[in-house]
Amino acid sequence: MIDSKDKFIVKFRGVRGSHPKPERNFMEYGGNSACVEVNVNNHLIILDAGTGIINCGNELLQEHIAKAHKESINATILLSHLHNDHIMGLPFFKPLHQKDSNINIVGFSAYEEGLDAVISQLVFEKSFPLGLNEINAKLSFYDINDSYALILDENDNTPDMIKIEKEEDALPQDEEVVISCLKSSSHPKDGVMIYKIAYKDKSLVYATDTEGYIGADQKLALFARNTNLLIHDAQYTTEEYLNTCAPKQGYGHSTFDMALDTYKQSKAENLAFFHFDPNYNDEFLHEIEKHYTNSCKNCIVPKEGMEIVLR
Ligand SMILES: [Zn+2]
Ligand SMILES: [Zn+2]
- Which tens digits make up the pLDDT trace of 159-200? 999 999 988 888 999 999 999 999 999 999 999 999 999 999
Q: What is the Å distance from ligand 2's center to 51 Cα?
A: 14
Considering the entire predicted model, what is its pTM? 0.98
Domain contains 54 = yes
The total domain count for the chain is 1
Burial class of 13 by CB neighbour count within 10 A (0 to 12, 13 to 18, 19+): buried
The CATH number given to whatever domain includes residue 96 is: 3.60.15.10
Domain contains 2 = no
Domain contains 3 = no
Q: What is the Å distance from ligand 1's center to 260 Cα?
A: 19
Domain contains 1 = no
Domain contains 118 = yes
Q: What is the Å distance from ligand 1's center to 254 Cα?
A: 11
CB 102 within 8 A of CB 64: no
- Helices (H) and strands (E) counted in the chain, each on its own, are 7, 15
pLDDT tens-digit map of 5-57: 999 999 999 999 999 999 999 999 999 999 999 999 999 999 999 999 999 99
pLDDT of amino acid 76: 98
- Residue 296 belongs to domain spanning: 8-309
Nearest ligand atom owner, CA of 83? 2
> Which residues are near ligand 2, the ion (C-beta closer than 5 Å)?
83, 209
Nearest ligand atom owner, CA of 189? 2
Domain contains 39 = yes
- DSSP SS3 for 3: coil
Nearest ligand atom owner, CA of 48? 1
